[in-house]
């Protein structure tokens, strides 16, 4: 791919309103933007979506920076990379650190698509012209107002973050206003074995699915609950690799899957998981990470594949932030986001704004 330079930019964007879950309250969103430049000056963009604290996965912004700068960049043979898959293969000799790997691989995918003169969505087999938008509602006093507002923008699916002991109350509050709303909850692993019977009773709410009721790694409890429950279980944190997806399907631990590029270590792995789910008739959707337009653009490309049959956590540029680092902004129009037909991820970078929000930069030049 004739890679010449790799740049990392540590940025931070302020949220319009805090995003609150039972695990964390996010007020400011730091991220690492990855830029990979080739011999002709073409640049591919990726994003490392790890959070400052390891509340969701074990990585943090700092560990990801360390892994990329001190481990991946010095040990990867960039001259041997002819396709992003080659990076994926080389990086697999290091354990874990999916988000660090996914950010680098994302920049390579964007660059590769630009070198080929095609859009990333088409390159990976995406067929849709537009993807359906879905909203995530964090813990808030203004939940009903927020849903009303997002409904008027056409969002088609609503995912509530819930608090243990208060979930019936929140779901019932939404159901009383919107009996038929496509609604789901995300438990982010907060339940334990003792909660099984109570959670199984959530069947009465007619939820689209329940996301990650138990902790990652516990395929057994998820299977036990799925056997007792009509509502499909969807796994998020549990799926960090193709092999995790295989186990979950084989054991019957879920009937749906959330695919996040960053959580599974990049687009190559995400595509493998997608294909496995097609084979096993498991519907998938694309999860979000409260990310900038760069990561959102990668998500849109992924969600344009045919088996992404459910609306994901796909929102517009201004859902969480006043301003995005891409141009034009990602817009939700009548509940849909258009898949760009420009080359690569299909968006330009707002260099001035990116500069304004950059707190630290690093550059590596290959000989």
339 interacts with ligand OSB by CB under 6 A: no
CA 63 to chain centre: 19
SS (H, E, C) 131-181: EECEEEECCCCCHHHHHHHHHHCCCCEEEEECCCCCHHHHHHHHHHHCCCC
Stretch that binds Mg ion, among 95-103, 219-227, 236-244, 340-348 (CB under 5 A): 236-244
- Site size toward Mg ion, by CB under 5 A: 3
* Distance from C-alpha of 338 to C-alpha of 201, rounded to nearest angstrom: 38
The residue number with the shortest CB distance to Mg ion is 236
323 is catalytic: no
* Distance from C-alpha of 285 to C-alpha of 72, rounded to nearest angstrom: 29
Please state the closest distance from residue 210 (CB atom) to ligand OSB, in A.
Answer: 12
Stretch that binds Mg ion, among 175-183, 211-219, 347-355, 358-366 (CB under 5 A): 211-219
Going by DSSP bridges, is the β-strand pair 130-132/336-338 parallel, antiparallel, or unpaired? Answer: antiparallel
* Beta-carbon count within 10 A of 243 CB: 12
167 interacts with Mg ion by CB under 5 A: no
Q: Which stretches of 241-310 are assigned E, i.e. beta strand?
A: 256-259, 284-286
Catalytic residue among 9, 42, 132, 260: 260
Coil, strand or helix at 327? strand
Sole binder of ligand OSB in the list 67, 160, 184, 289 (CB under 6 A): 289
Length reported for the chain:
367
101 is catalytic: no
313 interacts with ligand OSB by CB under 6 A: yes
Sole binder of Mg ion in the list 59, 186, 291, 350 (CB under 5 A): 186
Catalytic residue among 42, 132, 161, 296: 161
Please state the closest distance from residue 21 (CB atom) to ligand OSB, in A.
Answer: 8
Stretch that binds ligand OSB, among 2-10, 87-95, 285-293, 322-330 (CB under 6 A): 285-293
* Residues tagged active-site: 161, 260
Footprint of Mg ion (CB under 5 A): 186, 211, 236
């Amino acid at each position: 791919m004739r890679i010449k330079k790799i740049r990392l930019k540590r940025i931070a964007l302020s949220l319009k309103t805090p995003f609150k879950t039972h695990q964390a309250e996010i007020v400011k969103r730091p991220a690492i933007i990855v830029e990979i430049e080739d011999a002709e000056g073409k640049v591919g963009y990726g994003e490392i979506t790890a959070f400052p604290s390891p509340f969701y996965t074990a990585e943090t912004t700092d560990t990801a920076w360390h892994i990329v700068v001190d481990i991946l960049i010095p040990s990867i043979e960039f001259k041997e990379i002819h396709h992003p898959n080659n990076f994926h293969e080389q990086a697999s000799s290091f354990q874990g650190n999916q988000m660090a790997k996914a950010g680098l691989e994302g920049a390579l995918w964007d660059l590769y698509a630009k070198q080929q003169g095609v859009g990333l969505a088409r390159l990976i087999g995406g067929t849709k012209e537009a993807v359906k938008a879905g909203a995530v509602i964090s813990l808030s006093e203004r939940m009903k107002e927020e849903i009303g507002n997002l409904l008027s923008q056409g969002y088609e699916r609503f995912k509530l973050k819930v608090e243990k002991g208060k979930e019936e109350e929140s779901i019932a509050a939404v159901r009383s206003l919107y009996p038929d709303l496509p609604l789901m909850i995300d438990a982010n692993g907060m339940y334990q074995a003792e909660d099984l019977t109570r959670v199984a009773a959530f069947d009465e709410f007619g939820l689209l699915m329940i996301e990650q009721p138990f902790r990652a790694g516990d395929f057994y409890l998820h299977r036990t609950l799925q056997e007792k429950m009509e509502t499909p279980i969807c796994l998020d944190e549990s799926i960090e690799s193709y092999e995790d997806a295989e186990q979950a399907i084989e054991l019957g631990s879920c009937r749906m899957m959330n695919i996040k590029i960053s959580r599974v270590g990049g687009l190559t792995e995400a595509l493998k998981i997608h294909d496995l789910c097609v084979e096993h008739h498991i519907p998938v959707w694309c999860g979000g990470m409260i990310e900038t337009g760069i990561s959102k653009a990668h998500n849109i490309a992924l969600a344009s594949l045919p088996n992404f049959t459910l609306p994901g956590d796909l929102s517009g540029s201004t859902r969480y932030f006043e301003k995005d680092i891409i141009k034009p902004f990602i817009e939700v129009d009548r509940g849909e986001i258009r898949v760009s037909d420009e080359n690569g991820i299909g968006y330009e970078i707002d260099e001035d704004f990116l500069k304004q929000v950059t707190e630290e930069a690093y550059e590596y030049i290959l000989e």
